[in-house]
Each structure stands twice: as structure tokens, then as C-alpha cells.
Chains A and B, each alone.
Chain A
Amino acid sequence: MAVAFDEMNGPGGDLRPAYRELSRWLKETPPDALEYRRQEAELLFRRIGITFAVYGDAEAQERLIPFDVIPRIISSKEWTLLEKGLKQRVRALNMFLRDIYHGRDILRANIIPDDLIFQNPVFRPEMNGQSVPHDVYVHIAGIDIVRVDADNFIVLEDNARTPSGVSYMLENREIMMRLFPDLFARHRVAPVERYPDELLSALRSVAPLSASAEPTVALMTPGVYNSAYYEHSFLADKLGIELVEGRDLVVKNDEVFMRTTEGLKRVDVIYRRVDDDFLDPLTFRPDSALGVPGLMSAYAAGNITLANAVGTGIADDKAIYSYMPEVVKFYLGEEPILKNVQTWRCREPKDLAYVLDNLGDLVVKEVHGSGGYGMLIGPAATKATIEAFRDKLKREPEGFIAQPTLALSTCPTCTASGLAPRHVDLRPFVLTGSQHVTIVPGGLTRVALKEGSLVVNSSQGGGTKDTWILDE
């Protein structure tokens, strides 16, 4: 594996310009002062209650995601390019989803094989031919980006269902500003605080035609036991909208209402953080009590906007991911600005053969998996694990893709033995309304806290950092 690119110290240890002030500041600041601030930050996170739940871990029902106080800095030039690439990609994603559930031009052009869509468990036949308000499917996208060298940001994953983490982007900034006012005074950091306003106006802009001039938006959560519940309540609060559960909603004559102390009130847009499967027991899982009976028929009648739309999971799919460069070209007629990671589709015999021969060097992922579960990291795995995976691959090749192990960039991070480089990724949040695609300058930087580890997921012990986009 190649030596990772360090975002602060660059190749050959040359301090990169965006990090100049930070580096100077770090030299002036005694290590115990940093440690003291780190503890203070942790206390603040706990008091505010910024936690996530870990399923199956009864001991620690709520955990803190570790927060690293050293910011990750991106220059405005780098950001400008990222922003362009992200907007392009999300535009293409929306057009792809519309096409898949309507004309299917991309299938007829033989760019994507039919069975990859129709046999995919996250494809929703209920959405065939159904129009969604303003043709927007992915209102909120979280695109996972990794950096491999000075010039290249690569897309690792498209999260088009219910991407989470934006509350950390906002809270990390709040806490950094509280703890390090002097450090901010030395930089011009683009603010992220307008994200809730942008989100609300995007959501309002996609209200159905039957909505009033002041559409009512609500955020739907599975409830307090969901791992991202903190984020749900945080966002509802910042947006000034009701945080509803399925039991708060009722469908009458194909309209959706919430139960309030003044009686029923119509809801026009639901930012739902509930998965497709649980939205409506009449259409999807009948055993689920999280959803609202009749919601899908109100949706079909065009009386409610669901954000993100039902059936967007197909764009999350890692097998579809491998076609994204073609998807961008097909719909926009442009070269993709952001590259994909080279991906072998194990469903294709030639690719499978290559993957089986090179398992020790590759990362193999489940096509429908998420959160870093069920993956093989070849270089870090034991022989026995690799062999076990080889059997799985042969049995069910269509369930997997493989990618080279990327040399994810590193950033200086506080560790028990002082500052040390740790691998990071970045999840910017892209909003699509009826008129615009927008991105607040920033995102969630996740950091693998274990030395050498490439796994940044919070469920696997990863932490977060504040992400600074310099405004020059």
C-alpha cells in the first residue's frame, strides 16, 4: 500500500499552506492545554447530550462519538472543485432515480444491466411510474469522499437514503468556536450555521401542489431508541418543525395529518428518517408499528412529499455505485469531476476471478451493507478470514464488490502519545430543492482513531473532527 498523503505535512513533510497558522498555533500551545480542551469538549458533548445509541449494547445505551479537537482544513480552491463535483454528481443521481422509475432510458441504452435494478431488494416496484413532487428524489445526500493525494478527492459512497451526521458537523463547529476562539481569529473559516435554513427552504420548495402557500414540514423519527435520535431532535429544533413519530400521524382521504392539541393539522412535507420498509405497514412491512398506515396512498395521490423519496436506496447500492461515472456522462453529457474508486463487480466472472486472485490486497464490501459491517480488508485480515471470505464470495458473488485498499489521507490527531497522523474521510451534505442544488461549505470529517486503521465509522470506534473550509 502506498504511503498515505498527510493533509498538513504534505509529501516530503512540507507544511501545506492551508495549515500554516494551525501548525504555528500547535507549536505555541502546550500539550496539556490541548488535553484540557479535549476533556472540556467531551464534557460539553455529554452535557448537551450529543450521543448515539449502539444497538445490542445494553451497557452503554448512549455513547459519545469521540471528538478530536484538531480541525481538518480544506483550502477554498480545493473546496470549489469539490463543490462543483458534488453538485454534478447529485444532479445525476436525481435524474438517474427519475429514469429508473419511469422511462428507463439508461437500461435501454444498455449502460446498466436490468437485473441489477429489478432484482435489487432496495428497488421499489411501488414507485414505478409514480411521479414525485418537482422530480426531486434525493433531497439530502451525504457523499463520502476520501482524499488520496494532493490533487485527488474520490467518492467512496453515495448515501441517498437517510444520511446522518450533519448534527455533528454543526455541533463540532459550535464547540470548537467555544473552546478555540483564538484559533478562529487567525483563520477565515466559512460558516456552516446556515445549513438548517438551507434545509428548510429546500424542503419547503418541494411541497406538493396541493399544499398551502406556507407548507407544513415535519421531521419523522423512529423514536428515542433510534441510534440517530439525537440528530433528529436536533434538526427538528433548528428547523423549528415538529418532530413526529408514526403514531403522531394519521392519513384521512389521502391527506396526512398530525395529532395536535388543537386537533388534526395537515402535513405537506415529511423529512423522514425512517427507512422505506417501515414507512407504511399497508405497503411494506405489516409487522412494523413505526410507520403510518395509508402514507403511501397519500404519496401516490400527490398530497405529501417524502424526503428523501421512497426507493432512493437503489442509488446507495454499491453495485450501482460502480456505474456512477457512466451515469453522470449519460444524463449530463459531462465528464465526471469526481472520480470513483476503481471497483470490481464480483457478479462479472472476469472481475470475480481477479478478486479471488488478489483478495489479500483488496477491500471487499457487501453490496447492500453499511456502517463498515461485513467487509473484508485484505491487507489487515488473517489467512483464515480471507479463506472464509473466499467461500462467501464464490457462493454469492453478486452480493459483493471489491476495491483496492486506498491510501486514505491522514490528518494530525490527538492520541495518547501526542499528535499523530490518522486516516480521515469527509461527508459533505448536498441539498436539492425544486430550483437549486446547494452545499454548505463543510461536512463531517470522520477519523479512524486506531493507528493504521482505515475504518472511520462511528459504530466501529471512529471519531469526528471539525472541517474548516478556508474562505480566502
Chain B
Amino acid sequence: MLSRTAENLYWLARYVERAEYIARTIDATLRVTALPAAYIGKTNEWESALLTAGVSASFYETYQEATEQNVVEYLAFSPANPSSIKNCIEAARLNSRSVRTALTSEMWDTINSAWIELQEVWGKGTSSREELARFLRFVQETSLRFDGSAYRTMLRNDAYWFSRLGLHLERADNTARILDVKYHVLLPEEEHVGGPLDYYQWTSILRSVSALTAYHWVYRETLKPWLIADLLILNDTLPRSLASCYSNLVRNLDQIGVAYGRQGASQRHARGVRNRLEHSHMDDIFQHGVHEFIQEFISDNARLGEIITRQYLI
């Protein structure tokens, strides 16, 4: 397929995934900030939402203070924020238009309808929490529909694999960012801090990646930071874990390699990262330092993006 088509598909999937992730982040933050002050202490959850979205620095170029209104506006609607939900959906639609021939009509319909709704219903942003909640649901449903229609309707060929690469690369980055911002509440097993503050922080981490129920199914335990880290980093059964993202990345890259009859740097690199995740244990990671581990992962992941681009997309 055309390199440009592959590149567009790859970024299209990234934009949709990113929009969903930002929506989840806002959603999780809303829940925590709705709690009485006694439960959440003095931390500014909106600031941490900016951090997990990776847009803290640019936010303060425009705004003075990380209030709910400012942050929601910036994360969801601001044209000045390249990763705002609105910009993500618009970019996704522009990409879709230029690769319409590679999309199924269901996928195009999802993106185009979302774009129309964005213009017509959400053009002025939201004016109440109730409206915001509806908007966030709309974004998450768009992403679900897009992902689902891709899964159900696309031919299993390179078009599909490249879009899956975008999705898993973006997803791995998002999960890693949450961990990186919140790593301080994921302390080693022995240091039992506990308390309502941490408890709600943990819940919000799990909610951001839609894994709260999954946690209970996997561990059948009350929330423990150690296990939360294990779930999000090493547990291959959780679709948003780093391990699961890399299983998928390796598989999709292998499928491309087989179809093209040629392997390359991206296959090797992805396999390297996956092997490291496979052979890691949480105690080693805590020994080594969660923060350091995540930092390395984020840069390895970004590097995979660069290698894929060089090998296939330009």
C-alpha cells in the first residue's frame, strides 16, 4: 500500500485512541474532585490531569491557573492544544478523508458522524457537568465504534495492521504516562501508606484505563498499589497494560513482516521491549525504581514509533 496511506491510517488510529484517553482522564478527574475535601486533601487533581495528558507546559502559556473550567476547556476543546479532543477528532477526520479508500464505510461513517456532531452539538463546548459528562460519553463511544467497526469490517491486511500499530503504540504511551504521573502513590509493598487519599488516587488510575472491575477479577483483593502496578505493566490479559500493548505490537509487526516477506528494525525493537516486559517481575521493577522503569519504557516506545516511520511510512 502507499506509504502515505499507511501513515495516515497509523495516525488516524492514534488520534482516536488519544481522544478517548483524554476523555477518560477528564472523567476520572471529575470523579475524584467530586469527593469531599477530606478524601482528596489539597492536591490539585486538575493539574495532574494536565500532566498525564502531557500538556502541562503548553497549558500555562495560555492560562494562569489549573481550574476545572480551564483544564476541561484546554483538554477537550481548545484549538490551541494539538492533543485536545476536538483537535484529535478533526485530525482523525482529515486523515480519514485522505485515506477513504483504505477505510470501510462503517469506519468512515463513525468518524464523519462524530465530526458532524462535534461541529453541530459541541461547537461551543459544554456549560455544565451534565453536558460535559454527555460529551465524554460521546467521545468514548466514538472510539468504541471506530475500534469495533475496524475490528469487524476491515480486511486483515496491512491497512488493518498499520492502524493497529497506531492504536497500540498510542495506548502504551497513555498507560505509561498515567503511571509516570502517579508513580509516587505506587509505593513498594512494605510501605503501607493507605488512607482515603491514596485509595481514591488508585481508583482514578484504574478508571483512566478502564480497569477497575478488571482489577477485582484478576486479584480478588482490595486495592493495593503493588498489584495495580502489576496489572498495568505486566499483566498480559488487561488490554491496556504495557505487556498487552507489546504483545499486539509484536504480532502486528510480524504479520506485516510475513506479508511483505521481510523483517526489519521495528520487528526487532518491538520484540526486545516485549521480552523485557515478559521477563520482568514487580519486585525487580520496584527495586530499580518504578519511575525509572516507566521513563525508559516511554522512550523505548517513542523510539519504536520512529523506527516504524522510517521503515514503512516515509
A residues lining the B interface (CB < 8 Å): 46-49, 223-224, 229, 233-234, 236-237, 242-245, 247-248, 258-262
Contacts and interface: CB of A to CB of B under 8 A. Distances in A.
Contacts of B112: 47-49
B258 interface: no
B312 A233 contact: no
A42 to B, nearest CB: 12
A259 B101 contact: no
A224 B98 contact: yes
Given A47-B112, A223-B98, A258-B2, 8 more contacts: A46-B116, A48-B108, A233-B101, A242-B101, A243-B101, A261-B2, A261-B6, A262-B260
Interface in B111-137: 112-113, 116
Contacts of B100: 49, 233-234, 237, 243
Contact of B3 (A48, A229, A261): A261
A242 B100 CA distance: 11
Contacts of B94: 224
A223 B113 CA distance: 22
Nearest to B158: A261
Interface in B85-109: 94, 97-98, 100-101, 105, 108-109
Contacts of A236: 101
B101 A260 contact: no
Contacts of B5: 242
Interface in B283-309: none
Contacts of A229: 97
B1 A261 contact: yes
Most-contacted residue by chain B among A223, A234, A236, A262 (CB, 10 A)? A262
B164 to A, nearest CB: 14
Contacts of B108: 48-49
Contacts of A261: 1-3, 6, 158, 162, 256, 260, 312-313
17 contacts: A46-B116, A47-B109, A49-B97, A223-B98, A224-B97, A233-B101, A237-B100, A237-B101, A242-B2, A242-B5, A258-B2, A259-B3, A259-B4, A261-B6, A261-B158, A261-B312, A262-B260
Contacts of B109: 47-48
A261 B309 CA distance: 10
B49 to A, nearest CB: 32
The binding surface of chain A is classed by DSSP as: mixed
Contacts of A259: 2-4
Name the 3 nearest CB pairs between A and B, nearest first: A233-B100, A237-B101, A261-B312
B98 to A, nearest CB: 5
Contacts of B312: 261
A248 B260 contact: no
Nearest to A218: B2
A259 B4 CA distance: 8
A261 B266 CA distance: 13
Contacts of A48: 105, 108-109, 112
Interface string B74-94: 000000000000000000001
Nearest to B103: A237
A248 B3 contact: yes
B313 to A, nearest CB: 7
B254 to A, nearest CB: 15
A248 B97 contact: no
A243 B4 CA distance: 10
Nearest to B261: A262
A368 B94 CA distance: 33
A244 B313 CA distance: 15
B175 to A, nearest CB: 27
Contacts of B3: 248, 259-261
A248 B2 contact: yes
A261 B260 CA distance: 9
A47 B2 contact: no
A208 to B, nearest CB: 21
B2 A260 contact: yes
Contacts of B158: 261
Contacts of B101: 233, 236-237, 242-243
Nearest to B109: A47
Nearest to B105: A48
A151 B5 CA distance: 50
Interface string B241-269: 00000000000000010001010000000
Given A49-B108, A259-B4, A261-B260, A233 B116 contact: no
Contact of A248 (B4, B113, B116, B162): B4
